[in-house]
Structure 1
Amino acid sequence: MNVARPEFRPDPESTREEMEALQHDIAASARFDDDHGFDLDTLGTGDAAPSQTTLDSPTESDSPVRPDPLLVAGVDQAFLDDRAVSAVVVLRDGEVVERTHAVSPLTFPYVPGLLSFREGGPILDAFERLDTTPDVVLFDGSGRIHYRQAGLATHMGVALDVPALGVAKSLLCGTPVADTDHLEAGESVPIEANDRMDCEAGTLVGHAVQTRQFDSYRINPVYVSPGHRVSAATARDVVLGCRGGYKLPEPTRLADAYADEVKEDVRE
């Protein structure tokens, strides 16, 4: 898969001012509404039971042709010394159809708000080894929920020009409109921009999404935001459609596991 906008490849040698200026350009280039061309009904999780044909059912030739389930990619990383292991796992209807990785040097420290300049280049290295073109990509990080509306998912989504969204474990900025401590699985709460962000206060920038919940103990939601070419509502619905038995949606959970697997191979 090619990097569609190479001018947005993160340069860890840039100054902080140059990095922040690039993020403003990325946010201006991003589409935070639906421009993806897919039908969420074709998301496919692998959980649906096969349809049953009866004497009253239409014949196969009379049935409408159902589009193939979406190609959904998950992205995550593992770290070993001064290297990043970037993993991409692509699913169709809950089945892995491709996975690839790259091991890249890390030359930039972790700085809140500038994560893509540490991790973005290694992630693009992995995508350049990918044969398939996903319909939508889930990144382990923020999208529009970012000080300059240009989190990792936005930066990578614009650089690759692919529908993208971020799934973060903590809330970088923005304000939930209601309490998020008592959500049940499948529930969500909108998150609006606050004065830590450079867009108008009250703008819908994402959702707190409860992907999983337990009676014996409570777990926190994930924070989902559009990265590029998807709306906040679609980003939420994609994550809810990718739920499995864990807190993380299946695409990023499998990418996390694959990154750890590669990390152990590299260590040995």
Structure 2
Amino acid sequence: MRVVRPEFRPAPGLDTDAMASRQRDIAAVADFADDHGLTPERIGLDEPPGVQAALGGATTSGEAAPVVVGVDQAFRDDEVSVSAAVAIRDGAVIERAAGNAPLDVPYVPGLLAFREGSAVIDALSSLSVEPDLLVVDGSGRIHYRQAGLATHVGVLFDVPAVGVAKSLLCGTPAAALADPLPAGTRVAIEADDSMDAPDGAVVGYALQSRQYPTPETRHINPLYVSPGHRVSAGTAADLVEATCTQYKLPAPTRLADQYAADLT
């Protein structure tokens, strides 16, 4: 993969105001509408991906099967950020790539792209395949300045991207999330006054990808799915749900999480 917007690379030495300003610039060029040609049917998984010995794969119609790349991060000795990228095509893992970078930016909510982004760029730049979709462990448009890690990375490479977060950074759910939700439920996340997005705009969804049979005694929390770049909010939820198989997490980021753990 090749970075096409190098001006948005995480630069060392920026203060928090400069980083926030850079994120607003990224959000200004991000596209939160569909521009990809993907459907849930084309990338959907019926079971966890296996490993394919060589690159290839096509749909039954003869079209080239889309490549979906999961991205997740880990840390080594609190000094190095490690990123893992796992490419899936036609139900099989076809490539894995790793990246790392010094962990020289402190943790600040909303600024994770500057802490972890260099390692992500390193990993994605090592891939020999071109992704049709990035599924990133982190936020996309559900972000104070509409530029979470998935947006930042999607714009950098100009690739369709979605963010999948385990907690809600900002925004207001359109319905209460206090009680366990049945599997398949979606609740819109609307922009509020903590965000740059227009008040009330749907910036993503709480997606209940899986639930236990008796949630009143043991339950699974929803995922928070949002568009990163060149994907709409509704389609982002559709695509993520299609790749979850029998697990809570979508297969691309679940496998990337496992690979990141192996790297550390």
Q: Same fold (TM over 0.5)?
A: yes
| 1:169–1:222 CA contact under 8 A, matched in 2 | yes
Q: Deviations over 1:84-129 (max 9, x none)?
A: 1110001112210111101221110110011100001110011111
Q: Residue 8 of structure 2 aligns to which amino acid in structure 1?
A: F
Q: Is 1:258 the equivalent of 2:259?
A: yes
Q: Tell me which residue corresponds to 1:183.
A: 181
Separation of aligned partners in 1, 2:7 and 2:230: 19
CA shift at 1:198, angstroms? 1.1
**Aligned in 2, Cα 1:44/1:70: closer, same or farther, shift over 3 Å?**
farther
Structure 1 residue corresponding to 2:105, chosen from 86, 105, 108: 108
Separation of aligned partners in 1, 2:174 and 2:44: 30
Q: Deviations over 1:176-232 (max 9, x none)?
A: 101233311122111100110012110010000011110241110010000000000
Structure 1 residue corresponding to 2:162, chosen from 147, 165, 171: 165
| 1:42–1:68 CA contact under 8 A, matched in 2 | no
Q: Tell me which residue corresponds to 1:212.
A: 210
Separation of aligned partners in 1, 2:120 and 2:83: 5
Separation of aligned partners in 2, 1:197 and 1:39: 29
CA shift at 1:259, angstroms? 0.5
Please report the RMSD computed on the Cα atoms of aligned residues, expressed in angstroms: 1.5
Alignment partner of 2:150: what SS? helix
Structure 2 residue corresponding to 1:140, chosen from 121, 130, 137: 137
CA shift at 1:78, angstroms? 1.2
Q: Residue 184 of structure 2 aligns to which amino acid in structure 1?
A: G
Structure 2 residue corresponding to 1:70, chosen from 66, 75, 79: 66
Q: Tell me which residue corresponds to 2:31.
A: 31
Q: Residue 197 of structure 2 aligns to which amino acid in structure 1?
A: C
| 1:44–1:92 CA contact under 8 A, matched in 2 | no
Q: Is 1:155 the equivalent of 2:152?
A: yes
Identity value in percent? 56
Q: Which one has a bigger Cα radius of gyration? A: 1
Q: What residue ranges of structure 2 are gaps of 5+ in the alignment?
A: 49-59
CA shift at 1:6, angstroms? 0.6
Moved more, 64-73 or 168-177: 64-73
Q: Residue 245 of structure 1 aligns to which amino acid in structure 2?
A: Q
